[in-house]
Structure 1
Amino acid sequence: MARNRFHRSSYQRYRGGPDPLAPPVDLRSALDEIGEDIMAGASPQRAMREYLRRGTQDMRGLDKLREQINKRRKELLEKNNLDGTFTEIRELLDRAVLNERKQLARDLDDEARFAEMQIGNLPPSTAQAVQELSDYEWRSPEAKADYDKISDLLGREMLDQRFQGMKDALENATDADRQAISEMLTDLNELLAAHNRGEDTTEQFDEFMGKHGQYFPDNPQSTDELVEALAKRAAAAQAFYNSLSPEQRAELDQLAQQAFGSPELMNQLAQMDSQLRQARPDMGWGDSADFTGEQGMGMGQGAGALSDLAELEALSEQLSQQYAGAQMDDIDLDALARQLGPEASADARTLAELEKALKEQNIFHRDADGNLQLSPKAMRQLGQSIFRDVAEQLSGRKGDRATRRTGASGEPTGATREWEFGDTEPWDVTATVGNAVRRTVTEAPGGLEAAGDLAREGVRIDVRDVEVAETEARSKAAVVLLVDTSFSMEMEGRWLPMKRTAVALNHLISTRFRNDELSLIAFGRHARTIDIAELTGLQPRMEQGTNLHHALMLAGRHLRRHPNAQPVVLIVTDGEPTAHLEPDGEPFFYYPPHPATLAMTVRELDAVARLGAQVTIFRLGDDPSLERFVDQIARRIGGRVVAPDIDGLGAAVVGDYLGSRRGRRG
């Protein structure tokens, strides 16, 4: 019996760039958070910037990415030092001298004694000792091999600073290898000189890459790309030099002349550095860094670390977005991936896409005074989100649709009728499907048998089949929401819940009770009618005064403009009246409440009550004076008082409005 063979698959994180199966950017969630910040008092621009800085639970924001960039930079500096090459050279020199002394001790001739004196009197400076031994006749083959490694190491390190990977590639290099490097540098300097003169170097570049392309694994596609890559590395090599102590620089200057046993290499590299500095003077040639760690780096490693530091500093600035003209597109995603990995790059790319999508969706617009506000489209989306939260509070369980049914334009009567353009009543599914089946049978060519085949294949619903449920119309309402905007609302943490309440009620009325007329009135020391976008972005002000008198005057005007509508007045406040409007239009403020203020406020409440308004006062806080005042006026005008928790304010106001609607039948 054949044995079953199973193919084993392994799965891991996708590393080829952005995840192709990742969900699209969540604009709704982003708009919810930005809207919350705006309602809390941030400007629209600052709210968007703060969202990008903060990120989300599943996506690092700019601040987190910058924190990780700065942490990596700190680790580089605290872990490493620049002594690696010097230490390696000193070890080679000490080993060479030790082996030579052993050999000289075995030799009995007078020249050996003289050589011992020369070896024993070497200067303490590594560079000077290496230079003094340049003409020494070595007797120990092992010692000579170690000494020759010094010049070879220096040459490879010098090249590795400018051409990454050259140190390992040229280990045990032959004279032919060194000659090939020299020819490459000569041709490169000619190409750079032509580029700096502004000449067209296309053919010269192609010829150069065809001849020396093995030294450039990044495979640049033009002279500009080649210059960019080389200039970064050369500037890092200069930063390495700048970061050395004066003693180390002096040592390196002397040692460099021994590279590959000839000063020619240094001359060619110096010419190349000069050409690159001329081509890209902005590369930070004067940079330096203070490495304080214990792990020594070679010259090539040090240049690479300094190149990383320059890249990290640039990324930190890009992620800060604090400079003039900053844009998310400024962030170098490839550099971010190199330093923090592809996931960090994906997070930054998502943030940039979010910013771009939010701008393309026109979530902001300027009002008549030039102030930036949430656009109507953004307000609809924000209102829908806030109302969804309020509806969940009303229903007591997530996903309950009771508020949606309550908010329909009427109650079902049990009858149905044919759908007409503009109808918003719910479909009668049974009647609609029945119409579709009957029409299929009637219109099918070939009689009932063919109709049966069509029915088995499926029935298509045509617009002619649709029937909607008849509903009983409800009366129109004139609704006024008066919201307290005195500074105490901000001080006691009631500013944001007040705004969320207004947004939720506005969304409910504008989308589901469109016949109702809503007016929003904000009252502090003055009162004014305000639209929902302006209220959403309204900044708290250090303004004392609760001018309910003025607000009720404006409410009365709105109710009188709609004499055939049922008047509904909803008042949200956390303080008793402390201001009223004088006949000359100026506000009068006094605390504790002045008798004149209380009398004029009560008079306006009486006027609203005479219009037949259903008045509900939502009392916030536990002020005993406010509690006594609202209880008294509620009894006087037959109104209601609700004292909700601050988190339940939206549900209380919307629920009260819906309750008033249930009692209004046409």
Structure 2
Amino acid sequence: MSSADDTANEAGRRARAARRRQWSYGAYREGPDPLAPPFDIDAAIDRIGRDVMEGSSPRQAMRELLRQGMSGRSGLDELTRRLRERRRELQRDNRIDGTLQEVRELLDKALTAERQTLARQDSEDARFREMDLDTLPDNTGRAVRALQPYQWQSPEARAAYEEIQNLLGREMLDQRFAGMKEALQQATPQDAEDVRRMLDDLNKLLDAHAAAPDSPSVQAQFDQFMAEHGRFFPEQPESVDELVDLLAARSAAAQRMMQSLSPQQRAELAELSQQAFGDPRLAQSLAELDGRLQGLRPGEDWSGPGQGRQPRFRGDNPMGLGEATRAMEELGRIDELTDRLGQSYPGAELADIDPDELAAALGEDARVDLQALRDLERELQEQGVFERAPDGSLQLSPRALRRLGESALREVVDRIAGRRGERATRRSGAAGEPTGASRPWAFGDTEAWNVPRTLLNAQLRRAAGDDRPLDVADVEVVDTERRRQAAVALCVDTSWSMVQDGRWVPMKRTALALHHLISTRFRTDALQLVTFGRAASKVGLGELVELEGAWVQGTNLHHALLLAGEHLRRHPDAIPVVLVVTDGEPTAHLEPDGHPVFSYPPTELTLGLTIAELDRLTVRRAAVTFFVLGDDPGLAHLVDSLARRCGGRVVAPDLDGLGAEVVADYLRTRR
């Protein structure tokens, strides 16, 4: 091999090694986990459906799902809890009088050093100075102010006093301008003058903006201001409005921080503010700035909840004015985020929650949880779980109802299979016994394919010149015997006792399971849902699922059987089936004028009309089954009498077994 080949191979090896060194492995931190499992939409629909059946509106059920979260993701309630914990942590661990404490320590240091120096001087002037120091006010602010003209004898004391003035200047500026405390750590008189000039120019800019907010000259003035003083604004705002928003939020937080101090502490800080950088003009300029900002942004929270209700900081970690103001800003953001996470205001949406602010308060995992909730909400909307009712309200879509019915039926089948020792499976022949023939597939057919006939049709078509491997027109299904149609009336009690005793949701899930079974496996059967309280009415599945319990007395079985009879008469050739779910005696009947009448205990008229309607169903040879809930002996005796009269059956299931008993009875009657 030539030396050139050796050189090329060595270069290739080094290049591959360099590429390998560029690779690194670690935790994924760029957003949601790309390998996370997809949302379980069916589970979400089940939870929404459960809340709707318990009486919530679809919109409330959706909000409840977002509040609780799912699939290992925090919901809005958990994020709110973490925000409140962060709020308590801020107040529990910190206190906001750190600047006052630091000033007191520096003042004690200055006075101690000065007294030590004076004690070594043997002169009347030294004794007079000691007397001046002994008569200083107890108030720290007044003491610092009283010492302003004092001629210090100790260099150490003079340096400590000057540090008080510089500290106050830095802290007051740090309240309004981020990073100012560190930038002016070694402030010179020229630095202080630059700050005062910046404040003067800023106040002039705000005055011009207030007079003509949209004027091009104001924007030009802003550009000139940023060119000269931009180093004081690391956020680099791009317009006067952005600058005002930034400063107003901090200024309002500074005001709220002052309100959180005791009256004595506020008085001390007011005195000390006059000593910032040894010049009262800084305090005056900042006060003018606060006034202008409050006029430009009156909607900011400038005073907080009021005296006595301000947040109290009771920890051991002292914070300076700037740090305390930022803590108040964080508390304000936490309170706003808490309100938005609560979603309790009109028109609330997840889009109202700022993910950046949430991440700043709780960390990146909170941003991921919020995005997961947004994705879940969007997925449910795209899947068509809800639809608009004619009145504009939200209601569950047919797809959601089918999913709820499928879930309810699965529970029923599992219970029936467990009771009989069978597996839940689709048995052959469920759609009718095969006739030995086949027929072309039609939309809606669920019968098994006739595979040989389907493949033969495909080969014949290809022999004719069509190259497609398989077409829907090729498919043939196994023909089955036609089964006789059944007309089913499911009459469910909706009196208040059903709600009060926890039978509301089991009743609805029973209707869901039966409806889903008939609509998917016995599509030729005609099912009518009938609700009866003081009066009865025919309802659709969606109406029943979203039906809210109401405090209405009365169990109008008479009216329910009358509507069931109307349904059976519309299907004269079908097997008549009437299923009644109730927990109370008949206590209401329908007058000829259509007015329901309630009476407890039941009157002879109510019982007579109910029995007469039952007799009409008996004449039609309807298979009637009563499902009795509860342990009322009077109801049990009455229903037994009614069942014997019509040749029907009585079933007394527990709540968990209600659906299984109803479905099993329907299948038994059909057979």
> Are the equivalent residues in 1 in contact too, given 2:489–2:529 (CA < 8 A)?
yes
* Structure 1 residues 391-470: aligned runs within 5 Å: 391-396=413-418, 402=424, 404-405=426-427, 409-413=431-435, 415-420=437-442, 423-429=445-451, 432=454, 460-470=469-479
1:554 aligns with 563
1:257 aligns with 274
Give the direction of change, closer, same or farther, for the CA distance of 1:179–1:282 in structure 2 (3 Å limit): same
CA distance in 1 between counterparts of 2:600 and 2:143 reads 90
Deviates more, 1:270-279 or 1:285-294: 285-294
1:524 aligns with 533
Give the direction of change, closer, same or farther, for the CA distance of 1:402–1:431 in structure 2 (3 Å limit): farther
Give the direction of change, closer, same or farther, for the CA distance of 1:133–1:559 in structure 2 (3 Å limit): same
Displacement of 1:84:
0.8
1:82 aligns with 96
> Are the equivalent residues in 1 in contact too, given 2:45–2:385 (CA < 8 A)?
no
For the pair 1:567 / 2:576, whether they are aligned, the reply is yes
CA distance in 2 between counterparts of 1:444 and 1:475 reads 41
1:480 aligns with 489
Q: In structure 2, which of residues 613, 622, 646 is the aligned counterpart of residue 637 of structure 1?
A: 646
2:208 aligns with 194
2:503 aligns with 494
For the pair 1:281 / 2:298, whether they are aligned, the reply is yes
Deviates more, 1:412-421 or 1:281-290: 412-421
1:337 aligns with 359
Structure 2 residue matching 1:641: 3-state secondary structure? strand
Structure 2 residue matching 1:273: 3-state secondary structure? helix
Give the direction of change, closer, same or farther, for the CA distance of 1:106–1:436 in structure 2 (3 Å limit): farther
> Are the equivalent residues in 2 in contact too, given 1:479–1:517 (CA < 8 A)?
yes
Structure 2: which amino acid aligns with 1:139? Q
> Are the equivalent residues in 2 in contact too, given 1:570–1:615 (CA < 8 A)?
yes
The two structures have a TM-score, normalised by structure 1, of: 0.86
Give the direction of change, closer, same or farther, for the CA distance of 1:275–1:650 in structure 2 (3 Å limit): same
> Are the equivalent residues in 2 in contact too, given 1:373–1:534 (CA < 8 A)?
no
CA distance in 1 between counterparts of 2:664 and 2:181 reads 76
The two structures have a TM-score, normalised by structure 2, of: 0.85
* Structure 1 residues 589-600: aligned runs within 5 Å: 589-600=598-609
For the pair 1:148 / 2:152, whether they are aligned, the reply is no
RMSD after superposition? 3.4
CA distance in 2 between counterparts of 1:602 and 1:530 reads 24
2:172 aligns with 158
Structure 1: which amino acid aligns with 2:401? M
Deviation string 1:214-263 (CA, Å, 9 cap, x unpaired) is 33333333322222111100111122223333332232222112212222
Structure 2: stretches of 5+ with no match in the other structure: 1-16
Displacement of 1:483:
0.8
1:449 aligns with none
For the pair 1:174 / 2:188, whether they are aligned, the reply is yes
> Are the equivalent residues in 2 in contact too, given 1:395–1:403 (CA < 8 A)?
no
1:534 aligns with 543
Give the direction of change, closer, same or farther, for the CA distance of 1:387–1:179 in structure 2 (3 Å limit): farther
> Are the equivalent residues in 2 in contact too, given 1:44–1:364 (CA < 8 A)?
no
1:271 aligns with 288
2:312 aligns with 291
For the pair 1:42 / 2:56, whether they are aligned, the reply is yes
Displacement of 1:548:
2.0
Displacement of 1:430:
6.3
Deviation string 1:407-448 (CA, Å, 9 cap, x unpaired) is 954344454444355644233456646766887799799xxx
Structure 2 residue matching 1:189: 3-state secondary structure? helix
CA distance in 2 between counterparts of 1:548 and 1:387 reads 26
Displacement of 1:551:
1.6
> Are the equivalent residues in 2 in contact too, given 1:407–1:658 (CA < 8 A)?
no
Displacement of 1:21:
5.4
Deviates more, 1:481-490 or 1:32-41: 32-41
Displacement of 1:22:
5.1
Give the direction of change, closer, same or farther, for the CA distance of 1:20–1:194 in structure 2 (3 Å limit): farther
Structure 2 residue matching 1:229: 3-state secondary structure? helix
Structure 2: which amino acid aligns with 1:234? S
1:365 aligns with 388
Give the direction of change, closer, same or farther, for the CA distance of 1:124–1:550 in structure 2 (3 Å limit): closer
2:626 aligns with 617
For the pair 1:311 / 2:333, whether they are aligned, the reply is yes
* Structure 1 residues 119-158: aligned runs within 5 Å: 119-158=133-172
Structure 1: stretches of 5+ with no match in the other structure: 446-458
* Structure 1 residues 46-85: aligned runs within 5 Å: 46-56=60-70, 58-85=72-99
2:396 aligns with 374
Give the direction of change, closer, same or farther, for the CA distance of 1:406–1:195 in structure 2 (3 Å limit): farther
CA distance in 1 between counterparts of 2:178 and 2:431 reads 73
Displacement of 1:536:
1.9
Structure 2: which amino acid aligns with 1:115? R
Deviation string 1:491-540 (CA, Å, 9 cap, x unpaired) is 22111111111122223323332221111111223222222222222222
CA distance in 1 between counterparts of 2:410 and 2:444 reads 25
Give the direction of change, closer, same or farther, for the CA distance of 1:117–1:659 in structure 2 (3 Å limit): same
Structure 2 residue matching 1:153: 3-state secondary structure? helix
CA distance in 1 between counterparts of 2:470 and 2:234 reads 64
CA distance in 2 between counterparts of 1:422 and 1:612 reads 32
Structure 1: which amino acid aligns with 2:312? F
For the pair 1:608 / 2:617, whether they are aligned, the reply is yes
Structure 1 residue matching 2:129: 3-state secondary structure? helix
Displacement of 1:125:
2.2
For the pair 1:31 / 2:45, whether they are aligned, the reply is yes
> Are the equivalent residues in 2 in contact too, given 1:394–1:403 (CA < 8 A)?
no
For the pair 1:244 / 2:261, whether they are aligned, the reply is yes
Displacement of 1:557:
1.5
Structure 1: which amino acid aligns with 2:182? D
Number of matched pairs: 642
Structure 2 residue matching 1:541: 3-state secondary structure? coil
Deviation string 1:86-115 (CA, Å, 9 cap, x unpaired) is 110110111122122223333445544443
> Are the equivalent residues in 2 in contact too, given 1:80–1:291 (CA < 8 A)?
no
Give the direction of change, closer, same or farther, for the CA distance of 1:52–1:588 in structure 2 (3 Å limit): same
> Are the equivalent residues in 2 in contact too, given 1:483–1:521 (CA < 8 A)?
yes
Give the direction of change, closer, same or farther, for the CA distance of 1:573–1:272 in structure 2 (3 Å limit): same
Q: In structure 1, which of residues 229, 232, 250 is the aligned counterpart of residue 249 of structure 2?
A: 232
> Are the equivalent residues in 2 in contact too, given 1:521–1:528 (CA < 8 A)?
yes
> Are the equivalent residues in 1 in contact too, given 2:447–2:477 (CA < 8 A)?
yes
CA distance in 2 between counterparts of 1:243 and 1:114 reads 40
Structure 2: which amino acid aligns with 1:534? E
> Are the equivalent residues in 2 in contact too, given 1:615–1:639 (CA < 8 A)?
yes
Structure 2 residue matching 1:427: 3-state secondary structure? coil
Structure 2 residue matching 1:473: 3-state secondary structure? coil
Identity %: 53
Deviation string 1:26-53 (CA, Å, 9 cap, x unpaired) is 5543433232222222344443444444
> Are the equivalent residues in 1 in contact too, given 2:515–2:527 (CA < 8 A)?
yes
Structure 2: which amino acid aligns with 1:188? L
Displacement of 1:270:
2.4
CA distance in 1 between counterparts of 2:462 and 2:58 reads 55
Displacement of 1:381:
3.7
